Structure 1
Amino acid sequence: MEPDEIEALFTRSDGSYAFARWGRALAPVVFGVEETTLATIKGAFEAVCHLAGHETTELDPELGANTMMFFCRDWSELVGVPNLDRLVPDLGPLVAKLDAAEANQYRIFRFDEAGAIRACFIFLRMDDQLSAVPADTLALSQAVQSMLLWSDTAFADRSPLGQLEDGRVVLRPEIGALIRAAYDPVMPAATGDASHALRLAARVGGMS
């Protein structure tokens, strides 16, 4: 990947460069799905963490679960989730905003003192579009998009996933290499300096 391609993936719509990776092991929990789907989702997070050289865990010592995924049929269902308003400030206005935009997914990140990701809340409204996506594909896509603080426009034009000739859906190789590079121990856990993209590009190039 070229440096400008990488820079674009972490440059937000307001023009600012913002990068962050997880500073702790991911402890995922999923609400609103059957047991079989739960295993698929957790498996996807484990696979992406393994790719990055990162870890998952059953329990975060500070938060318990630090990666929470909520499935619903209507955004209004989130208002009835016990104590969710304590985890997500201004939940009511957020639900109204998502409903008005007819959105089907939304992610909120929380950060530690160093700027690294400490928690992620993933909300999915299973409309006709998302309901048509196979569970393993949806799980992999969400795991990838939760692994780093990507730009809010990062995958608007092209998914981080690709399809093989046999029909299997997999992570695009260049995105996988970028995630591995981002979790290189010598790289910063968070930065707003766009020159960071140059360092990522050098590492991605070394993996090809």
Structure 2
Amino acid sequence: MDAQAIASLFTRGDGSYLCARWGRPIVPVVFGCDDATLAVMKGAIEAVVRLAGHSMAETDPELGANLMIFFFRDWEELVEVRDLDRLVPDLMPLCARLSAEGANQYRLFRFDQAGAIRAAFVFLRVDAHLAEVPAEVLALAQAVQIILLWSDTAFRAHPPLVRDEGRTILRPDIAGVIRAAYDPVMPPVARDASHALRLAARL
């Protein structure tokens, strides 16, 4: 993967470049799934965090948990979650919009003063399509998409996961970008496309 291809992963639809990684250990919590799915979700997150060379923790001193994953059947259910509207701005109109669009997933990030990721919220509406996706595939896809702030068009043409000998795995080139972005000498947030050249040099 060359610098141009890497830049496309972080160049948003409006043409701006933005890459951000987590600035603190990740503390996940999962709502609305059974114990088996919970174990798969946390296992996938741990695997991607290890790949990045980042860390996890038992608790976040500010938020308690800073990665919240919700499984549900209808967007209206989120409006009833206690205190969620304090964490997610404009929750009610957001849910109304996503419901009207027929969306089955949505990710929301919050950032610290330096611009690094401080929290992420993952909303998964289990419709007929998501219900058919194996738990391990869904878990790995979500873990990959929250480990960095990818652009809104990053995986539109080519998803981050591929099939290999009957298994679903993370694309090696995407794995390389994740490792490079978490290199200690790289900045936690970058808004200039020259950042992609530095990532390419580390692949």
TM bucket normalised to smaller: over 0.9
Structure 1: tracts of 5 or more residues without a match? none
| Residue 138 (structure 2) aligns with | 138
Stretches of 4+ moved more than 3 A in 1?
A: none
Corresponding residue for residue 74 of structure 1? 74
Letter in 1 for 2:171: R
**Structure 1 match to 2:85:** 85
- Report the equivalent of 1:156: 156
Give the CA deviation at 1:158.
1.4
The structural deviation recorded for 1:202 is: 0.7
Structure 2: runs of 5+ lacking an equivalent: none
Secondary structure of the corresponding residue to residue 74 of structure 1: coil
Instruction: Classify the secondary structure of the residue corresponding to 2:118.
Output: strand
User: How far apart are residue 87 of structure 1 and its match?
Assistant: 0.6
For residues 1-208 of structure 1, what are the structure 2 equivalents within 5 Å?
1-165=1-165, 167-204=166-203
Once the two structures are TM-superposed, the CA of residue 159 in structure 1 deviates from its matched residue by 1.1
Residues 37-87 of structure 1 deviation map (CA, whole Å, 9 limit, x = unaligned): 101100100000000101111211111000000111111110111110011
Distance in 2 (CA, whole Å) between partners of 1:125 and 1:169 is: 22
Cα deviation for residue 89 of structure 1 reads 1.1
Overall identity of the aligned pairs, in %: 66
User: For each residue in 1:115-134, what CA deviation from the matched residue of structure 2 results, as whole angstroms up to 9, or x when unmatched?
Assistant: 10000000011111111100
In structure 1, C-alpha distance between the alignment counterparts of 2:17 and 2:9, rounded to whole Å: 9
User: Could you tell me how far apart the structure 1 residues matched to 2:158 and 2:125 are?
Assistant: 21
Aligned residues: CA RMSD = 0.6
After superposition, give the CA deviation of every residue in 1:176-203 in whole Å (9 maximum; x if it has no partner).
0110000000000001111000000110
For 2:142 and 2:61, how far apart are their aligned partners in 1? Answer: 24
What's the CA shift for 1:7?
0.3
Superposition TM-score, scaled by structure 1 size:
0.96
